[in-house]
Amino acid sequence: MQLTFDEDVEEFRAEFIAFLDEHLPPEAVATERPQSSSHVPAWSRAWQSTQFDHGWLVPGYPPEFGGRNATVLQQYVHREELGRRKIYESCNPQGQGIIAASLITFGTREQQQRWAVPILRGEMPAALGMSEPGAGSDLAGLRTRAVRDGDHFVVNGQKVWTSGAHDSDVILTFVRTDPDAPKHKGISVLLIPTDTPGVRRRPFASACAGDDLDFNEVFFEDARIPAENLVGELNRGWTVATGSLGHERTLLWMSFAQRLRILVQDFRPRTELDIDRFAGAVMDLQALELLGSTALARESRGEADVAALSVLKLLGSESVQRGLEAALDAAGAGGLEHPAVTSRHSLFNLEDHAPSWFERYLRSFSGTIAGGTSEIQRNIIAQRILGLPRG
């Protein structure tokens, strides 16, 4: 299947290419590397601000939020051109893609100007406080409490896996405000500045390296948060949660396709089994692009199928993981050399796209967990697409 576009979409693409040619920072400037998913080097902050000012940061947003009200097909070609040059949209992806998006959808006008715009301009890195010990994929099981006390909420509890929290200025935090409500109710969402007394962040290393500090434990001990920082309605945070994850998924398959494309370029099969598994990765890429293009065409006609996005998320994340496992096996003992470089480096992309095969494979597990685990995606597919009964 080959996508073709109307003249207005190709004009949009040409305008964006011209913008990149004129404004993309020179490589000599982009030398400082991000140290976490909320650490935004000065050059990246300036680049993000430039994109915002010209309406190219998130083209589907209105101009006041760094966009130009682009259609879904225009958003597709925008991401396609970023992929061609291996340009990652933001060094604070959860800030741009989830937190600002949630504020634009559910926040007040004042919250949008105070928080969303600085986040989008790269001036206020943000983290997402969802997972807790014992409540990872099961968000409804969260136990962090927020009790109303006058014009403040008093927050107590703990979050974990909070990516980039130690480099963030604010955490969009899901809390329980009605402990007597049913499991999926009684949840609210607060914007918690990280310099609030009683907020303590503790980064910890990943399996990739002792100095790979992105994950955090975050502790709240009688942290007083202004009631005006409540996002959306009190006790209706589940709506914000599903909306937050939904913002991730619309064109999420394109990021998995990009990783598969790079993997196919880097894969070095040696045995007949390696060649067979390599061919499997190529077919997975073609299948993902075909299904993604079909979903894109449907959405452009106003026939969006949200449940079907779970198929793309499941196929994309597991294809990347399966392909990287095959590439690691094909590399033999050399694939365990760490650190190492296994792909052409790009200053405007993330480091985790090019390290050792060992690290690339380890990092693939985040794709099958973040944004809803593979198990959750299978449940959605079973119940909402196949119509199977709940077990």
Residuewise pLDDT in 10s, the chain (391 residues)? 556 788 999 999 999 999 999 999 998 888 898 999 999 999 999 999 999 999 999 999 999 999 999 999 999 999 999 999 989 889 999 999 999 999 999 999 999 999 999 999 999 999 999 999 987 767 778 999 999 999 999 999 999 999 999 999 999 999 999 999 988 899 999 999 999 999 999 999 998 888 899 999 999 999 999 999 999 999 999 899 877 665 556 688 999 999 999 999 999 999 999 999 999 999 999 999 999 998 888 888 888 777 788 899 999 999 999 999 999 999 999 999 988 999 987 778 776 678 999 999 999 999 998 877 899 889 888 988 899 998 6
Structural domains in the chain, CATH included, are: 7-91 (no CATH), 126-235 (2.40.110.10), 249-385 (1.20.140.10)
Q: Tell me the pTM.
A: 0.92
**Active-site residue among 89, 248, 299, 359?**
248
pLDDT value of residue 27? 85
160, β-bridge pairs: 217
CA distance 389 to 383: 6
Q: Where are the beta strands (DSSP E) in 293-351?
A: none
CA nearest 79: which of 104, 100, 96?
96
CA distance 48 to 36: 16
CA nearest 76: which of 64, 55, 59, 92?
59
- 39-57: pLDDT as tens digits: 999 999 999 999 999 999 9
108, 229 contact by CB (below 8 A): no
CA distance 355 to 357: 7
Q: Is 359 a catalytic residue?
A: no
pLDDT value of residue 111? 98
